[in-house]
Structure 1
Amino acid sequence: MTSRRPRNLEAERAALRAAADRLLVGTPLRSVSGNLTASELLRESGLRRDVAYGDHKDLVEEFQARLKAQNATPTAMQELADKHSEVKEKLAAVTENLTKEQAVSAALRRIVAELDLELMQAREELEQSGNVTRLPAPRRRAARR
């Protein structure tokens, strides 16, 4: 003969209420997905389906009503969604700035390359014309004490 432990209905109800609160706030302990469904409520509470729907159906329905009242989005999830959109906007602005800077950088590289070519041509012309005498480099003065 197996001995059954007497059920504590108040503890079961407390477990369901706590599980509902955790799911709605977005901080589940047992639920992997954190979905706001009756199945996840049962998983979060640790109660069997027959126990919850047999004796505590009112709490399951209360959870579903609270879910509808908050538009099916947990507060924590809404905060994450808001932060995500904010970060997306910042990323778009930074990407736009980066594109502008890359265009400026490419233009500057082209200018530097062109000036380098002009400098090399000027040096070649200078070497080919033999009538220009180079002056010696200026001497640097020693630092005064």
Structure 2
Amino acid sequence: MNARSTTTDRDAIRAAIDRLLAGTPLRSNGSLTIVALADEADVKRHLLTHRHTDLKDDFYARVRARGHVPDNERKLRDDLAKAQSRITELVAENHKLQGENDVLARIVNVLELENHELRTGTGRSGRLVALPTVNDC
């Protein structure tokens, strides 16, 4: 790409916008994105995002006016929906695990109390009861 004047760049960008919206790209893949617009206009992308922001905004406005959501925005929306779904799953799993953790903590407390009673002989009956072994079941 050669060094061009700002007017030449702006004319190239406007022509590229028209070609992309018409579906007749010459230099790009034809997607309605800033990257494709820069390729189509044969300018560096930073010129669109930093110097010619009015043309970039006009391009996006014209794309939206046609009812078309740019590919990158659609991908971001899909990614966001997937992330929100995953967050919902993780929150539900977290609640389940918290409930299981509470149950296990109660079991440990009961077992500690029973163990203390057995070791000190302060249990209700004061005598040990043998638990059934695996073979007895």
Aligned pair in 2 of structure 1 residues 64, 87: CA closer, same or farther (>3 Å)? closer
How many residues align? The count is: 98
Structure 2 unaligned blocks of 5 or more: 21-27, 36-44, 123-127, 129-137
Aligned pair in 2 of structure 1 residues 70, 124: CA closer, same or farther (>3 Å)? same
Greater radius of gyration (CA): 1
| 2:33 alignment partner AA | V
| Equivalent residue number for residue 86 of structure 2 | 90
Alpha-carbon shift at residue 98 of structure 1 (Å): 1.1
Q: What is the alpha-carbon root mean square deviation over aligned residues?
A: 3.9
Partners in 2 of 1:125 and 1:78 — Cα distance? 70
CA contact (8 A) 1:25 1:75 kept: yes
Structure 1 length as normaliser, TM-score?
A: 0.51
Structure 2 length as normaliser, TM-score?
A: 0.53
Partners in 1 of 2:95 and 2:104 — Cα distance? 14
The sequence identity of aligned pairs, in percent, is 17
| 1:40 alignment partner AA | T
Aligned pair in 2 of structure 1 residues 119, 31: CA closer, same or farther (>3 Å)? same
Runs of at least 4 residues of structure 1 off by over 6 A?
7-10
CA contact (8 A) 1:24 1:67 kept: no
CA contact (8 A) 2:33 2:70 kept: yes
- 1:31 matched to 2:49: yes
- 1:68 matched to 2:65: yes
What are the superposed Cα offsets for residues 1-38 of structure 1, whole Å, 9 maximum, x if unpaired? xxxxxx89775432224468699415463426xxxxxx
Alpha-carbon shift at residue 70 of structure 1 (Å): 3.5
Alpha-carbon shift at residue 69 of structure 1 (Å): 1.4
CA contact (8 A) 2:63 2:70 kept: no
